Amino acid sequence: MKIDVLLGLQWGDEGKGKVVDVLTPHYDIVARFQGGPNAGHTLEFQGHHYVLRSIPSGIFQHNQINVIGNGVVLDPVLFMEEAKDLEKSGIDIKRILKISKKAHLILPTHRLLDAANEKLKGSGKIGTTGKGIGPTYTDKVSRNGLRVGDIFHDFKLKYEAAKERHISLLKALGENPEISELEAKWFDGIEYLKQFDLIDSEFFINKAIGDGKKVLCEGAQGSMLDVDFGSYPFVTSSNTVCAGACTGLGVAPNKIGDVYGIFKAYCTRVGSGPFPTELFDETGSTIRQIGHEYGAVTGRERRCGWIDLVALRYAIMLSGVTKLIMMKSDVLDGFDTIKACDAYEIGGEVVRDFPYTVTDDLKPIYTEIKGWKTDMTKFTDEAQFPKEFNDYIAYLEEKLGVPITIVSVGPDREQTIIRK
């Protein structure tokens, strides 16, 4: 048995949470493999609206096991708040959620360091969510981090050493931190965390594979925010491409089966950084309003633009995507003309590969496609798609070289059409 991987192909906010929720009935286990509470996976069903930050999006379905993998960084306070909200919804979360002992903990001082570092950058700030994720991954790589499993091994001693090191760094940055209140809540979160099944997730996942269980690996953020291959330095602090599932869960590359790549019918980005197809006109504002393009975690306005096939091809290549899933196609229902960027012009040359860096002289080269001018939000079958929409799908499949197997026509779980 091989595991399947689901990840975003743009700059995040593609709709991964909804798709994981829809696919979960076909799997026994759903596992998050990287990121932290900077994720904002939104799900809507039965008139309710949920946003998941650290907990896998399979949590609402048919009692499948959900796993927070070793590649995730976990804030005990935010996790406790999120988990208790789910408990109020009637979910037996302590039974169906397992947490890797090797996942790293976000300390109160990590959040303060995040804010101080961003402040230091001034106008060159990255646009971090301020959740302490970057400093936590920094400690992980520099071998100074605290892990979930440390809770049971000289924890107080390890915590105090990490805290003192962080306070020294904060003072060097001109800060005078007061963390007693933050610390009290954090230790409440640690006690709550102890109530869960804390596991060696690499053994758990590999045993499940050996037993013939079906596993879906859920990514966070988007491929263009990958720390190695994204629009550096305006990226997240982890590997968001398919390879991140291997290191973030302890799974060998030859165990990967299908790779689902999710993208919007247009493109968005939150925070700073290059965005070749960004629209600064009324069209961009219209897409933002119709698509409700505001960050699920931060509430920030998302920058909006036409679909970027150069960046999409790059992301598909990096992860070996086998099946594409197009989200929010309904947002474009009212447009007379849809545009798609198939190449860039840089220094007078036509470029079809994503460049090392996006410079000011880059100009997107667009193909215009006739809009479908049809409200598709009530559609339940691909046979209902208008010709113009089918033409748009065919154009994308030709340019991307991968079939589009699922199309979303609205935010609800039911507004999902599986193509045959």
If DSSP codes are grouped into helix, strand and coil, which group holds residue 253? helix
| Alpha carbon of residue 6 to chain centroid | 10
The upper half-sphere exposure of residue 22, i.e. CA atoms within 13 Å in the direction of its Cβ, equals 25
Cβ(352)–Cβ(310) below 8 Å: yes
Catalytic one among 4, 13, 139, 330?
13
The sign of the dihedral angle between the CA atoms of 77, 83, 89, 92 is negative
Residue 62 catalytic? no
- Residues 75 and 28: their CA atoms lie apart, in Å, by 26
Q: Does residue 41 have an active-site annotation?
A: yes
- Hey, how many other C-beta atoms are within 10 angstroms of the C-beta on 252? 9
Backbone phi and psi for residue 314, each to the nearest 5 degrees, phi listed first: -60, -50
Out of 4, 21, 41, 308, which one is annotated catalytic? 41
The two beta strands, 197-199 and 256-264, are unpaired
Whole-number Å distance between alpha carbons of 179 and 331: 44
Side-by-side strand order, sheet with 29-32: 197-199, 97-100, 65-68, 29-32, 215-222, 3-8, 256-264, 323-327, 404-408, 416-418
∠ Cα 322 388 317 (to 5°): 20
For 181, other C-beta atoms within 10 Å of its C-beta total 9
Q: Which residues pair with 406 in a beta bridge?
A: 325, 418
50 in helix, strand or coil?
Answer: strand
Active-site residues, by number, are: 13, 41
